[in-house]
Structure 1
């Protein structure tokens, strides 16, 4: 935990430092770790200062793009994984193998053709122009995760519901879906993190209108060409980390249940 939390605490400490404390260790304590005079100037800079026009729209774009990508990915993956887990049809293994191969495909290899195609069809620097590539990242992973989870749900429970008069859709909605909720939440969190942290697509397929936070951070500038915007970037990094922490805290039990499901037999 110390190994994991130390970089986060370090970034938080940087976000509270003034420009003088960033360049002179004499303004800090504990070996240049914590500022003697903490300030929220860097947070004011990204929310109401000169970096506002760059950071705030990017933050909104990140939230919109990642939420839409996650919802579409999880909904499609849920039905696909259910079919792969319950039905036996030709090409079943090919679909799973293809999904696995796509998830391992290097993202950088898709950037150039997508960049040219998006400029030709008008999707460059648009929200849909980012959502579609993000589905290529999140959908295969979601299919594999949910397929493994659906295979652990006893087939007899769904059959019992159908014997009692439920249709296939009712059995799925009232029996399978509640049992699959921990796995769906876990998959949604993983898909959201994957889209939230993407940099390659965000920096290549956007210009200004649809730019997300990871790409926007690379455009931060200091007061002059000789000043690095370390404090502003650190403050933005802290703000970007907050939604991730909130999601994990809100859905902690469901995530743990989804990750540990099937680990204990009986």
Structure 2
């Protein structure tokens, strides 16, 4: 018994240490969210006080946000642009990842290196040229003008994520389907694609979150509510007068925009983690 005590005590200390560290990290991450929520629930007259939690809870800022016509329009733009960009990016990434992993062709590794280079390129560096090009082509302040950059920047991440899943699939399954008379496309659709569904799903969530949260392109490549997304629309909130800061409205809108992302992550966190860690361990 005495020989086992140091090990048990060491295990207990490690367990307490990691749990304490986890609590600190979670509290640090949730502190801004709680503060935003508190601001959004405070009446206008209490926004300047120093209390962390509201003295009185009200929903006036949420009502004001939805009374502003630009916010519902921005929600629709964010949802539509995000879904379209996600569908196109994931579809292209799935086909590209299959070709890179399964097929043998010259320049296969160069495609992967190029995708990685695009992923590492700072988006802010292309805002100026893209702004001029989009105005020339008539894509400025349009859905397509945002969808194209979102696809371009999220495609490398989706390719790398889905490629990791393709590498883990035993290709004997595809060969067996081909022997049974299936075409390459048929084997891909009915055998391979269902097996990589977790990776495709994880990539779709990550792409949608990127498009939903983007502020840089949405602010630079739009000018009206016809295509402005929520992150950019929040920046254009105004108070009841020029002397009033729209702090409460901004906080309420930020909470509303954060809810879909939080729900997605909580519901599909295992798929996201599986997608990001696929291929990390060779067994």
TM above 0.5, yes or no, is: yes
Gaps of 5+ in 1: 26-31
Shift of 1:16: 0.3
1:83 equivalent in structure 2: 99
Residue matched to 1:28: none
Distance in 1 separating the partners of 2:182 and 2:30: 49
- SS for the counterpart of 2:243 is coil
Report what 1:43 is aligned to. 62
Q: Which residue of 1 aligns with 2:35?
A: 10
Aligned partners of 1:210 and 1:120: how far apart in 2? 18
> Match for 2:129 among 95, 102, 113?
113
Matches within 5 A, 1:246-257: 246-257=263-274
In structure 2, the partner of 1:144 is 160
Task: Check if 1:235 corresponds to 2:252.
Answer: yes
Q: Deviations over 1:228-263 (max 9, x none)?
A: 111100110111011112222343443344345445
Gaps of 5+ in 2: 1-25
Q: Deviations over 1:188-239 (max 9, x none)?
A: 1111111111111111110012111111111111122222111100110111
TM-score of the aligned structures, taking structure 2 as reference length: 0.86
Q: Contact between 2:93 and 2:155, CA under 8 Å: does it hold in 1?
A: yes
Q: 1:171 to 1:128 in 2, by over 3 A?
A: same
Match of 1:99 among 104, 108, 115: 115
In structure 2, the partner of 1:244 is: 261
Deviation at 1:11, TM superposition (A): 0.9
- Give the Å deviation of 1:42: 0.4
TM-score, reference length from structure 1:
0.91
Tell me the matched-pair count. 257
Q: How much is the aligned-residue C-alpha RMSD, in angstroms?
A: 1.6
- Maintained 8 Å contact 2:162/2:275: no
Q: 4+ residue runs of structure 1 moved beyond 6 angstroms?
A: none
Q: 2:48 aligns with which of 23, 45, 53?
A: 23
Q: 1:180 to 1:135 in 2, by over 3 A?
A: same
Assess if the C-alpha contact under 8 Å between 2:161 and 2:275 holds in 1.
no
Corresponding residue of 2:144: 128
